Structures are given as C-alpha cells and as structure tokens.
Structure 1
Amino acid sequence: MNAESVAVEADGLWRSYEARTGWLKSRTKTIDAVKGVSFAIHRGEVFGLLGPNGAGKTTTIKMLNTLLLPTKGSARVFGHDVATQPRDVRRRIGYVFGGDKGLYDRLSALDNLRYFAELYEVEPREQRARIHELLELVGLLGRERERVEGYSRGMRQRLHIARGLLHRPDVLFLDEPSIGVDPVAARELRATVAALARQGMTILLTTHYMAEADELCDRIAVITDGVIRVIGTPETLKDSVATETVVEVEVEGQSDKHHEALGELPGVRWVEAEHGPAETSLITVRSEPGGDVYANVLSVLSDLRIVRITGRETTLEDAYVTIVRESAEVTRE
C-alpha cells in the first residue's frame, strides 16, 4: 500500500493493564486487552472494527485517538505518531461515541456547538457558517435552539456527530454511534455517515449491528480476545461462509430438547434458537452443503408443529458469528 494513501496505521499495538483480584489475599495480575493489533486504513475509506463486548475495540480506538498510550507497538494518523505527536493527531481526528455523555443537557444544541467550537479553536469568523452547515448535515436545523435535555437518543447522536466534525477532521472515529437508538433514528444516522463517506472522509466505525456494517463499510476487521482474526470486504467475509446451507425453521412447542439432536446431524456446524411469544421458536441450522439437510431437520422436529421452513443466503452476521466462534475454539485449545 502506498504510504501516501494511508490515513491510519496500527503496527503491533498492544495494551496491558494491572488488575487486583481477591480480597483477603489480593494479588495483581496482568490483563492484555489488545494483543498485537495491526491494520491500515486507506484515505477516504469506511473501515469497520467488529467484535463482541470486551474484544478490544474501544481500547484500540482510544490508543488511535491518543486517549490511551500503547504498552507496545505503534500507531500513526496521517504520519503522526499517537504516542509522541498527540497534539498533531488530535488536530486531524474527530471522536464520536455512543451514549448520553459528552453534551451539556441544559444548553441548546447551538450553544453546545458554539462551546465546542471554541475548544476546537475554530476561527470565530467561521463558527457561525460552520455550525449552520453541520446542523443542516445532521438534520437538526430548526431544532438547534432547543435544550439538549429534550432531545431523543437519535437527535443526541446526530449532535454528537456534528460536534465531532466542527474542526473539519480528516479522520472520524465512530464508536457504536447507533447504540440504543430506534430504527428510524439509526437509519438517519447511517444516512449521515454515508454522506460523510461520499465527501471523502476517512471513518473508523465500531458497531454491533451487522446490517449497518454491511451497508457502510468498505472493509471490516473482526477482533476477538484482543486479536484481529480477519480483515476483508463485507462480500469477502460473506463468501467465506457461502458454502454453508442455512435453514430456518419456525416451530410451535418446546424446542430446547431438540437442539442437541440437531447439532449431531451429519454436517451440521451450528444450531441457534430465538424464542418468541406463545412457545414459538425460530431455529437456525447451519450445515455443510450436500446431503438432505431439510429432511434431517424435519425428522428431528417431527413432534413439533412446523410453522415454516426456509433456506436463505448467508449474511455478514453469519460470517461474523462463524469467525467469533471459531476464534473462541482456538483460544480454548
């Protein structure tokens, strides 16, 4: 990769910390939150960092945006080292995180943005036009004089994005921006992120919503237990499990006792169940191709009422689950 095309680069990032365990006889143990993470993000790319809770996503982002120092390894943002040139890095980045913190509830959105514009050293003569531009971008124009305490979660998140863009950063870190928002607000947030991507902004996104990552990301890295397991495009990741047959069966009746039998069928890799109302369940069986998967599954579930049985194409969520589970097996070994 041409060095001039790289916006963010992590090289063997490692973050460890000391934790005390026990009460009467406490002892200190070292916990490795991130273990040798390496990747590079192209200029203008939307790069997804996916993983379960505690996998090391937020720790990695905090090292990249200078909030945590790496224990080992290095990272650069547009050539500036995060450990030795933090001020230069901060001038080039914006950081947006999910949740309610980071805004002043008793101030209006307009006053919040004016305050942060001063902190970000936005030129006074540019502030009015910049704030108006961002309010329009995130869909809050006309509501900017209302107190933030009256905003919905989705409106707050859009204001978070506006705040992170005030100083025209070259890289935007979005750490689970749609967490806890309703589907309509999440769609609006995705539209905002897509608009930023079309403008050429470099974005690092963490999310638990696979549809969001599939829609927005050019490439995705999956991290578990502090280690990057795979990096690729959404299509590449989906193709990695495209050889699977995925069967979904909706049933009425108690299905828990059938899970073990389904898992022992020839070629079956995973069995999952989501319980619905009135003792209904949606059972997902993922199997190697070949053989009569449908007939075998129906045979095991013969004492239940089958509402529907369908096959579907593999999704990014299927690929993600496979990667996470396989990495867990490797870790246990």
Structure 2
Amino acid sequence: MIEAKNLKKVYETKVSKGLFKKEKALVNAVNDVSIRINKGEIIGFLGINGAGKTTTIKMLTTLISPTEGSYYVDGIDAIKNPMVIKKKINMVAGGERMIYWRLTAYENLWYYGSLYGLDSKLLNERIDELLKLVGLYENKDKKVEEFSKGMKQRLQIARGLINDPEYLFMDEPTLGLDAIVSKELRKHIKSLAKEKNKGILLTSHYMEEVEELCDYIYILDKGNIINQGTAKELAKDAFSHINLKLSLYNEGYNFKEHLLKKLQEEDNKVKIILKEGYYNIESTKDLRVEISEFCNKNEILIKEIFKIEPRLEDIIIKLSNTRKVPN
C-alpha cells in the first residue's frame, strides 16, 4: 500500500519589486495532501490546471522531496529510501514523451530495462511478454518514429511495466488518442489493476474515463484535497438536488401546472421546466413514483422518465468553486 500523509511542497522564487529590484517569495505548490493507493485499485487524482497534481506526482515518484509530510510504500519510508522505492514504481505519461523515436520498440524497452539492472535473459523474456501484452510484438523491430499515436502510447505502457512495478502512476495516458484506441488502452489499464494486481494512480481530463476506471477519486484544488470518494459519493456530496427528465405520449390541459401542484405536496422546492420536448424536474428527492402515479391517475402515457446523473466535470468545478475542504 502507498500511504502519503500531509505532503507539502514549498518553492522559493523571486518576484519583481520595482524595475531593478527582486525579492524572495515562497510559493506553496502543495499545502496538505494525504492519499492512499492499494494494490488492485485504480485511484483517480483530479483537479483543474494549477491544482498541484504534477508537483504531488513528482513527490510520489521520488523525483522531488516534500517540504513536510510522510510517504511510505509497503511500509518503507520513501523519503529516506528513494532508490528502493524506484524499483517498486513506474510512470506512464500521455502524449509522446519518455520514448526514443530513433530506436525500435525492442531497443526502447531494452534501454529502460537496463537502467533497472535487469538480467539479460530475464529482460529479453519480459520485453517479449510486454510487447505481446500491448499488441506490438509484430512491430518490435520497427522504429518508433514509424508508429501511430496509439502504438506509441501502448509502447509507453510497456515501458512503464518493464521493471514489473507494484504501483503505476499514469498521467493522462490516453491524451490525444482517438476513441477506439482510448477504449483499448482503458481495457489494458483495468486489466493491470484487476488481473495483475497493480496499484494505479490515474490523472485524466476525460471524465468518462475516470468514472469508468476509478475505484476511488481524490479532487485537488490549490494544493489541498478538497474532497474524496467514489464518483457516486462525490456527486451526492456536491449536488443536493435530483434532476429528472420526463417525456409523454399525451398530456392533459395545464399538465405542467397540475403536476407541479401535486409534487409540491412532497417537495415545496420542486421546479419544472419544459425544454426541447422534455419536462426537466428538479427536486430535493426522487419523485419518479409520484410522477408515475399522477400520470396513471390522469390517463397520461409516459414515454420515458429517467434520472440525470451529474457529470464528474461538473462536480469538480462545483467543489473547486465552493472550496470545501474536509475535516
């Protein structure tokens, strides 16, 4: 298990004070971050640009040391033993970074495997295994500059697994990829956690991806974890109201007014708006039963009625705007 508590990172910088004068200033990139990653789980780490995600990941991957706080990996102090931790972790970045275009897929993996001091025989076996895993074995002797974006990103995943890490940090892994390739990579990511028992920390701006993959989510804003939980828990916490959409085959005279009056008996804050052929009903409780009973009693046929789940993107924006920091 990875467990980081109260991580803080302060940078010293210089700010202009007049035309020729500069003074030292302290910048709190990360103020107070506590996070846990279990093996077999995919943890979402989200926030708007400038929230502190990159700095936190750099601390978790031992690239920089925290100013304050503690960080343990399977009981090992990561701050005091960074070289030990590097063997247990790896990172996959989105885009086309961290691989060498002039080298072949095989040569890339050989180079990175050699940095970890892997035995030649073991390294050869692992390279073949990983290239088969990501569907690049037939292209192992082709230079990366000839690869498509999807192939490059699959090679990134193979590179990230070359040392057989127990924990994997994935920073925007499907960035810039088309829908078909992204779906394939999400399948790989889920397999790594659920079948290979890897602990994964995932950052992404694709909210559907996060909702599909992540078992638990941390939301970061201005260097603080402002909320955490499953996607459903975060939605419930961020939005106190329920949105329903209703469409009908037929309706009686002043249907909207009569329905509103009936629903106000259950919730006096209920609102109904007719838009693009749908009645949008906002309330503090789920009124689908009451709506169905009203329509049935008045011989009105319902075409469809369903609950609109809030998007994770809306949740992040709302939480960031309210700056709710848990106790």
Q: Is the 8 A contact 2:42 2:202 kept in 1?
A: yes
Checking the alignment, whether the CA contact within 8 Å between 1:10 and 1:75 is kept in structure 2 is: yes
Post-superposition Cα deviations, 1:308-328, rounded to whole Å, max 9, x if no partner, equal 657532232332222122118
- Aligned residue number for residue 208 of structure 1: 205
Contact in 2 for aligned 1:244/1:289 (Cα 8 Å):
no
Which runs of 5 or more structure 1 residues have no equivalent in the other structure?
1-6, 249-287, 299-306
Partner amino acid, structure 1, of 2:3: E
| Structure 2 residue runs without a partner (length 5+) | 246-266, 281-307
Query: Is the counterpart of residue 231 in structure 1 residue 210 in structure 2?
Result: no
User: How many Å separate the matches in 2 of 1:104 and 1:243?
Assistant: 49
How far apart, CA to CA, are the structure 2 residues paired with 1:83 and 1:198?
A: 28
* CA deviations over 1:241-298 (Å, ceiling 9, x no partner): 45335589xxxxxxxxxxxxxxxxxxxxxxxxxxxxxxxxxxxxxxx99433415xx6
The alignment partner of 1:105 has SS state of coil
In the alignment, does 2:69 pair up with 1:69?
A: no
Q: Residues 26 and 114 from structure 1, CA distance in 2 versus in 1: closer, same or farther, beyond 3 angstroms?
A: same
Question: Amino acid of the residue matched to residue 204 of structure 1?
Answer: L
- Aligned partner (choices 32, 37, 43) of residue 33 of structure 2: 37
* 8 Å Cα contact 1:42-1:202 kept in structure 2: yes
Q: Aligned-pair RMSD on alpha carbons?
A: 2.2
2:222 alignment partner AA = D
Provide the residue aligned with 2:294 in structure 1.
none
- The offset of 1:167, in angstroms, is 1.0
The letter of the residue matching 1:222 is I
Structure-2 change in CA distance of 1:125 and 1:314 (3 Å):
same
Does the CA contact (< 8 Å) of 2:29 and 2:222 recur in 1?
A: yes
Paired position in structure 2 for 1:291: 270
Measure the CA separation in 1 of the matches of 2:93 and 2:70: 23
Change (3 A) 1:104 1:310: farther
Instruction: Answer yes or no: is 1:15 the counterpart of 2:9.
Output: yes
Kept in 2: contact 1:229–1:323 (CA 8 A): yes
Instruction: Give the aligned partner of residue 191 of structure 2.
Output: 195
Answer with 146-155 or 199-208: which moved more: 146-155
Measured in 2, the distance between the counterparts of 1:85 and 1:293 equals 60
Counterpart among 167, 170, 176 of residue 166 in structure 2: 170
Does residue 90 in structure 1 map to residue 86 in structure 2? yes
Q: Residue 74 of structure 2 corresponds to which residue in structure 1?
A: 78
Query: Deviations along 1:101-137, whole A, 9 cap, x unmatched?
Result: 2111111111111111111222211122211111121
Question: Which deviations, in whole Å up to 9, do the C-alpha atoms of 1:190-231 show, x marking residues without a partner?
Answer: 111011012211111111111111111110000000000111
Aligned partners of 1:142 and 1:240: how far apart in 2? 48
- Whole-angstrom distance in 2 between the partners of 1:246 and 1:135: 46
The structure 2 residue matched to 1:220, chosen from 217, 220, 223, is 217
Q: Which has the larger radius of gyration?
A: 2
How many residue pairs match? The answer is 274
Task: Give the letter aligned to residue 218 of structure 2.
Answer: A
**Shift in CA distance, 290/142, structure 1 to aligned 2, threshold 3 Å:** farther
Q: Which of 103, 110, 116 is residue 107 of structure 1 equivalent to? A: 103
2:238–2:319 Cα contact (<8 Å) kept: no
Misfit runs of 4+, over 6 Å: none
- Distance in 1 between residues matched to 2:155 and 2:270, nearest whole Å: 53
Identity between Structure 1 and Structure 2 (%): 40
TM-score norm. by structure 2 comes to 0.78
User: In structure 2, which of residues 155, 160, 175 is the aligned counterpart of residue 159 of structure 1?
Assistant: 155
Contact kept? 1:64, 1:76, Cα under 8 Å? no
Query: Does structure 1 retain, via aligned residues, the 8 Å contact 2:174–2:185?
Result: yes
Alignment check: 8 A CA contact 2:33 2:223 kept: yes
Aligned counterparts of 1:114 and 1:185: Cα–Cα separation in 2: 25
Aligned 8 A contact 1:49 1:223 in 2:
yes
SS in 2 for 1:146: coil
2:175 corresponds to: 179
CA distance in 2, matches of 1:154, 1:71: 38
Q: What residue in structure 2 maps to residue 26 of structure 1?
A: 22
TM-score normalized with structure 1 length? 0.77
Shift of 1:21: 2.1
Shift of 1:40: 1.8
- The reply on whether 1:130 has 2:126 as its aligned counterpart is yes
Q: Within the alignment, does 1:49 sit opposite 2:28 as a pair?
A: no
